[in-house]
Amino acid sequence: MTKRVYNFYAGPATLPLPALKKAQKDLLDFKGTGMSLMEISHRSKEYAEVHAEASELVRKLMGVPDDYKILWLQGGASTQFYMVPLNLQQKGKSMEYVNTGAWSKKAIKEGGFYGDVKVVASSEDENFSYIPQNVEFSDNAAFAHITGNNTIYGTEFHEWPNVSDDVPLACDMSSDIMDKVIDPKKFGVIYAGAQKNIGPSGVTLVIVREDLLERVPENTPTMQKWKTHAAKDSLFNTGPCWAIYMCKLSLEHLKGLGGAPGIEKINRKKAKMIYDVIDKSDGFYKGHARLDSRSLMNITFNLSTPELEEKCVKEALTKGLIGLKGHRSVGGMRASIYNAMPLEGVQSLAEFLIEFQDDNQ
């Protein structure tokens, strides 16, 4: 067995080891077909099972009600930045966004191509170190849009903003999908690039309430309508079969952890381990996010100088702790501890950080 490191990359990110091993075992001969899953038809019986199981796992693990469709699409979360306004816009109604960072901004920019966009709240004044409180959307907006977790800054919504019954809430959950228990009924649409929390890159999960599928203008290009994909259970064209298969294996692992409640418990424990080190460091490590907005998934922090930060990242490498350099817009360090990061990985990081402080104070 080759050596595995603990990978704290922000995305694509670490996958559950059991999922990788299962994929490796099945690689050359999937279920006795004598072929890899990558080589067989997306209409085959063998793939149909994988496809259905992946969707069913999402439904079960997140408690998605029957009147929501589960879609597996391509183009990443970035494609949903325009598919959301394209599919949900309504003449004369504003599209309303909360700006909590670089990903929100990208979504807002795409919304602007379809009509009036209103940014109802922003945390840009303090380099996106917090989640705005008491956000208010208009009662007659076409939709409201938020970014559930801000991967770059390490902030996360812990309470969802209220929207009136007629306003669908759209949420980019690329970096917080299934990190905690949520009530999907609060949302009109949830979307997430799979590559952080539930699988590899190449597929995007979209969960959309059925009644919203009818809003899209008929003369919209076929592939850009959620409705097209919903009608064919995401098999309108050749989908990213391998990526969906890897999601299925990852989701099976998450099911084994106890579904959303079990995962949330572990995630809270993992995040606390690192935040505790930061909080007990007497300012040696300084967290970027405001305490009430701290992310369970991306922990961002700085040391006193860029030189010391570089040294810390380098020494971590020698311990098999990979991918801890922060994003350039915050600097410092970032530990991404998504659903698939084992507790032992976080434990190793916590121990390393304490040791590094002792050696460099």
Ligand X SMILES: *Cc1c(COP(=O)(O)O)cnc(C)c1O
Binding-site ranges for ligand X (CB under 6 A): 11, 76-78, 103, 147, 151, 172, 174-175, 193
Q: Tell the residue number behind the tokens 């507790």, with chain if given.
A: 343
d(CA 85, CA 116): 10
Minimum gap (Å) between residue 145 Cβ and ligand X: 12
What is 312-324 written as a DSSP string? Answer: HHHHHHHTTEE--
CB of 200 to ligand X, least distance (A): 11
CB of 310 to ligand X, least distance (A): 24
Structure tokens at 151: 């991967």
Q: Which CB, 23 or 107, lies closer to ligand X?
A: 107
Report the residue number, 174 or 300, with the smaller CB distance to ligand X. 174
Q: How many angstroms from the chain centroid is the CA of residue 178? A: 8
200 or 353, CB closer to ligand X?
200
Q: Which among 196, 225, 270, 325 is annotated as catalytic?
A: 196
* DSSP-assigned states of every residue in 12-81: S----HHHHHHHHHHSSSGGGSSS-GGGS-TTSHHHHHHHHHHHHHHHHHHT--TTEEEEEESSHHHHHH
Between 78 and 138, whose beta carbon lies closer to ligand X? 78
Q: How far is the CB of 99 from ligand X (least distance, A)?
A: 13
Residues in the chain: 361
Shortest Cβ 26–ligand X spacing (Å): 25
Smallest separation (angstroms) from ligand X to the CB of 66: 27
Question: Which tokens is 6 given?
Answer: 């603990």
Residue number, 11 or 188, with CB nearest to ligand X: 11
Nearest to 323 by CA among 18, 77, 14, 3: 14
Instruction: Mark whether 276 is an active-site residue.
Output: no
What is the distance, to the nearest Å, from the Cα of residue 222 to the centroid of all Cα atoms in its chain? 26
Residue among 30 and 128 whose Cβ is closer to ligand X? 128
Residue 300 backbone dihedrals phi, psi, to 5 degrees: -110, 135
Catalytic-role residue among 69, 72, 172, 242 = 172
Q: Cα(174)–Cα(204) distance, rounded to whole angstroms?
A: 9
**Among residues 69, 72, 103, 227, which one is catalytic?**
103
Q: If you write DSSP's letter for every residue of 102-149 in order, what string do you get?
A: HHHHHHHHHHTTTS-EEEEEE-GGGTT-SPPSS----TT-SEEEEESE
Could you confirm whether 172 is annotated as catalytic?
Answer: yes
196 given a catalytic annotation: yes
Cβ-contact 28, 352 below 8 angstroms: no
Annotated active-site positions, please? 103, 172, 196
